[in-house]
Amino acid sequence: MRIEAKTALAISSLLLLLFASNVQAQSILIYDHSISLKSGESSEVAQVYHIGKACQSLLKGSPEVEVMQGPPGVTAVIREEMVVPRGMGCANPVPGGKLIISASDVDDYSRTRMVVRIKMKTSEGDRQRTRDINISLFPKQ
């Protein structure tokens, strides 16, 4: 009986240590999963960063974005800048960027889903995150 209690205590302590040491507050904060753009407009849709437990950046280079699926004439770029990951409880800016979606030459109204893959080189290795964004496109009037 006494050995079982010690074993249970040891296992629970080990699990607590594993969870506490591997928790990473990392990611992409998407402001909105649906946007609307007129021809020639751009919209900032997300902050991109990768941080550790103490709100320190784990990025080793600039984040990149790749459009996996999307309407013609719509592009995505990451503008490199300092961002504040408030959603993760951090108060100070860290290196990262902002995801900008732009539309050019919209002839007709359309509604579609855009799939972007964000690639980051981090101290933990290469990371990729995929996000879906619903886009409504309007011609300029």
Q: Say if 56 falls within a structural domain.
A: yes
Angle 67-129-42 from CA coordinates, rounded to 5°: 45
Smallest Cα–Cα separation from 83: which of 65, 69, 97?
97
For the chain, how many structural domains are there in total?
A: 1
Q: Give me the CATH number covering residue 103.
A: 2.60.40.10
Residue 22 pLDDT greater than 50, yes or no: no
Instruction: Tell me if residue 40 falls in helix, strand or coil.
Output: coil
What pLDDT is recorded for position 87? 79
| Confidence class for position 19, pLDDT limits 50, 70, 90 | very low
Residue 119 pLDDT greater than 50, yes or no: yes
| Confidence class for position 131, pLDDT limits 50, 70, 90 | very high
Is the Cβ–Cβ distance between 44 and 66 less than 8 Å?
no
pLDDT in tens, 1-17: 455 655 554 555 544 44
Is the Cβ–Cβ distance between 39 and 103 less than 8 Å?
yes
Q: Say if 9 falls within a structural domain.
A: no
Sign, CA torsion 24/26/32/34: negative
Q: Say if 8 falls within a structural domain.
A: no
Average pLDDT over every residue of 41-63: 92
Average pLDDT over every residue of 103-124: 93
